[in-house]
């Protein structure tokens, strides 16, 4: 079985599991008292943010490894991770305003967390545009690796922005040193969704990496 | 607090779940088609 076929299987399994997460979130997870049903956007918004940040983190690490080892596989992986990260960022940036409107009364506000996540999206898009613009493969790999490392530097600021700046965005509920501040039923749904979005990331990257490999290009 | 006092925000939830599914499925189809085109060429 080729890599693209394995990637397709992983993606199909992840999508079926995503259906299960949808059912669990919408039917079997309790409704939050103050926000109503809009709070359930949490189960797609937070895991898609996680997958986008995972994509950016691995893109940055692959870029560092490429610059040190000059192995084109890292460059190919970085390109795959950037494209997949763009898709997850798009989910994050569309579900976020749909949650913000009923709770904050506005679709968007230029606070630190939101602005930094928008910058991450533009980093992904800029990375892909740069790759499309430079024709020489060696130069393209080197330039895009530098941009990938810039994206990696952005990640700690995104995670810590809710602590460092005054922001409307809620504090982490699970990814924090103390115990999760949500009922177990909600935490289980969220963790299941994290696992499924991570699997979906893996399936997408396998397919996208195989595409780059087949064309001997990223 | 009674169930009547919970805010009516279900429409936003439905929209978010549909948008997320559409984006992820569209990207899946796009990757699938690109993979098939590469296999044929």
**Segment A75-120, tens digit of pLDDT:** 999 999 999 999 999 999 999 999 999 999 999 999 899 999 999 9
Whether the pLDDT of residue A175 is over 80: the answer is no
Q: What pLDDT was estimated at residue A182?
A: 79
Average pLDDT, chain A: 92
* CB nearest A102 (choices: B9, B34, B38): B9
CB of A44 less than 8 A from some CB of B: yes
Number of Cα atoms under 13 Å in the Cβ half of residue A72: 10
CB of A8 less than 8 A from some CB of B: yes
Q: What is the 3-state secondary structure (H, E, C) of A104-124?
A: HCCCCCCCHHHHHHHHHHHHH
Q: What pLDDT was estimated at residue A117?
A: 95
Name every residue in B having a CB less than 8 A away from some CB of A: 1, 6-10, 12-13, 15-17, 19-21, 23-25, 27-28, 31-32, 34-35, 38-39
Q: Is B31 within 8 Å of A95 when comparing Cβ atoms?
A: no
Q: What pLDDT was estimated at residue B3?
A: 53
Q: What's the average model confidence in pLDDT over A207-211?
A: 95
* CB nearest B6 (choices: A18, A31, A211): A31
**A215: nearest CA in chain B?**
B38
Tell which wins on pLDDT, A9 or B37. A9
pLDDT confidence of A167, banded at 50, 70, 90? confident
Whether the pLDDT of residue A178 is over 90: the answer is no
Q: What pLDDT was estimated at residue A51?
A: 97
CB A39 within 8 A of CB A186: no
Q: What pLDDT was estimated at residue A139?
A: 95
Range from A87-91, A124-128, A179-183 carrying the lowest mean pLDDT: A179-183
Residue A32 tokens read as: 């939050």
Beta strands in A9-158, from DSSP E residues, in sequence order: none
Rounded distance between C-alpha atoms, residue A205 and residue A73, angstroms: 13
Percent of chain A with pLDDT over 70: 96
Range from A137-141, A160-164, A185-189 carrying the lowest mean pLDDT: A160-164
* CB nearest A87 (choices: B13, B23, B34): B23
CB of A101 less than 8 A from some CB of B: yes
Whether the pLDDT of residue A14 is over 60: the answer is yes
Whether the pLDDT of residue A166 is over 70: the answer is yes
> Which stretches of chain B drop beneath a pLDDT of 50?
1
CB A218 within 8 A of CB A142: no
* CB nearest B13 (choices: A11, A40, A94): A40
Q: What ipTM was assigned to the predicted interfaces of this complex?
A: 0.92
Q: Other C-beta atoms within 10 Å of A124: how many?
A: 26
Q: What pLDDT was estimated at residue A215?
A: 77
Q: Is A211 within 8 Å of B38 when comparing Cβ atoms?
A: yes
Rounded to a whole number, what is the distance in Å from the CA of A69 to chain B's nearest CA?
28
Provide, as residue numbers in chain B, all residues whose Cβ is less than 8 Å from the Cβ of A95.
16, 19-20
* CA nearest to A104, candidates A168, A40, A172, A163: A168
Q: What's the average model confidence in pLDDT over A15-25?
A: 97
């Amino acid at each position: 079985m080729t890599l693209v076929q394995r990637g397709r299987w992983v993606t199909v399994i992840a999508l079926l599991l995503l259906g299960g997460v949808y059912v669990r979130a919408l039917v079997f997870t309790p409704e939050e008292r103050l926000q109503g049903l809009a709070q359930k956007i949490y189960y797609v918004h937070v895991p898609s943010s996680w997958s986008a940040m995972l994509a950016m983190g691995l893109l940055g690490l692959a870029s560092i490894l490429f610059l040190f080892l000059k192995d084109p596989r890292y460059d190919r992986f970085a390109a795959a991770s950037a494209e997949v990260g763009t898709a997850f960022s798009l989910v994050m940036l569309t579900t976020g305003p749909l949650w913000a409107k009923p709770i904050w009364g506005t679709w968007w506000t230029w606070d630190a967390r939101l602005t930094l996540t928008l910058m991450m999206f533009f980093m992904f898009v800029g990375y892909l545009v740069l790759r499309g613009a430079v024709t020489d493969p060696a130069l393209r790999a080197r330039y895009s690796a530098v941009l990938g490392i810039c994206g990696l530097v952005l990640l700690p600021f995104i995670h810590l922005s809710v602590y460092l700046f005054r922001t409307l965005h809620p504090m982490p509920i699970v990814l924090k040193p103390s115990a999760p501040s949500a009922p177990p039923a909600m935490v289980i749904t969220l963790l299941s969704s994290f696992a499924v979005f991570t699997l979906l990331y893996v399936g997408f990257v396998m397919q996208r990496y195989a595409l780059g490999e087949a064309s001997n290009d990223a | 607090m009674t169930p009547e006092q919970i805010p009516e925000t279900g429409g936003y939830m439905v929209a978010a779940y549909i948008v997320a599914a559409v984006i992820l499925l569209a990207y899946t189809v796009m990757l699938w088609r690109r993979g098939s085109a590469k296999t044929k060429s």
